[in-house]
Structure 1
Amino acid sequence: MKTNLKTETFTCPSCIKKIEGTLNRSDGVDTAKVLFNSSKVKVEHDENKISPDEIRGLIEKLGYEVESVKSS
């Protein structure tokens, strides 16, 4: 499953490393990529192991606001 999340505007490159690192270490996440300029996070994951809401929760736990979530 692919999930795209729109987040608040990122202010520094360390934001990218923090989010990508957390998501890529999470069980069920195949790949996570942060697009700095567009404030988006693209995640490919196994929906049986981690849901879009759980991914949103991980990002929000790091202190970033998620504005929208779309999955396909």
Structure 2
Amino acid sequence: MKKAILKLETLTCPSCIQKIEAAMKRLEGVNAESVNVMFNASKVKADFDAEKLKLDQIVNAIESMGYEVLKATEK
């Protein structure tokens, strides 16, 4: 498992957290229990299986919902 850390544009409402969290949990390869959306920091952290999912796919899933990903790293 790898850890994705995504820095997003400033989140403006609590419902953004729920939308992003739900989208992340639906991605095949993401460990749903590890998804953490931090409102004040505008960050998303999640563990994912790099054999099933690439970081770019996670970024695309979030950006397709209208949220800009400013920086994406994996560890």
Structure (1/2) with the larger strand percentage: 1
TM-score over 0.5 for the pair = yes
Using the alignment, how far apart are the partners of 1:44 and 1:24 within structure 2?
11
Using the TM superposition, name which of 28-37 and 54-63 deviates more.
28-37
The match for 1:6 is: 7
Counterpart of 1:27 in structure 2 is 28
Normalized against structure 1, the TM-score is what?
0.96
Aligned length: 72
Deviations 1:4-37 (A, max 9, x none): 0000000001000000001101110003210000
Runs of 4+ in 1 over 6 A off after TM superposition: none
Q: Please, what is the CA RMSD of the aligned residues?
A: 0.6
Matched with 1:67 is 70
